[in-house]
């Protein structure tokens, strides 16, 4: 009878230890998740929004100015006709 009682007591102790360690682990995971979420929110708040390209003279972006220069060179080289140049220029200026 003593052996059975000792086995039962061991089972109860082991089961209690398992339950307690499971609760502790669950609580720690919750704390770590909260910390990660808070750090992520702080990083998002600290990061400045991406800057839009600054418009050049006349409200054009630097990319549009560069494209106009390229098509002007093509026109000077005779690759584009005056009509083709005007069409491409209108596309760049209108968006």
Q: Which string of DSSP letters, residue by residue, matches the chain?
A: -HHHHHHHHHHHHHHHHHHHHHHHHHHHHHHHHHHHHHHHHHHHHHSPPPPPPPP-GGG--HHHHHHHHHHHHHHHTTSS-HHHHHHHHHHHHH-
The confidence score (pLDDT) of residue 77 equals 93
In the predicted model, what is the mean pLDDT of residues 82-95?
89
Is the pLDDT reported for residue 15 higher than 90? no
Q: How confident is the model at residue 13 (pLDDT cuts 50, 70, 90)?
A: confident
pLDDT tens-digit profile of 29-75? Answer: 888 888 888 888 887 777 666 665 555 556 678 898 899 999 999 99
d(CA 78, CA 68): 15
Is the full-model pTM beyond 0.75?
no
């Amino acid at each position: 009878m003593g052996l059975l009682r000792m086995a039962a007591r061991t089972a109860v102790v082991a089961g209690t230890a398992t339950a307690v360690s499971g609760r502790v682990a669950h609580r720690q995971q919750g704390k770590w998740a909260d910390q990660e979420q808070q750090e992520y929110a702080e990083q998002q708040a600290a990061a400045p929004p991406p800057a839009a390209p600054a418009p050049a003279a006349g409200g054009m972006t630097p990319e549009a100015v560069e494209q106009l220069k390229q098509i002007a060179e093509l026109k000077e080289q005779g690759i584009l006709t005056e009509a083709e140049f005007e069409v491409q220029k209108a596309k760049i200026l209108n968006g």
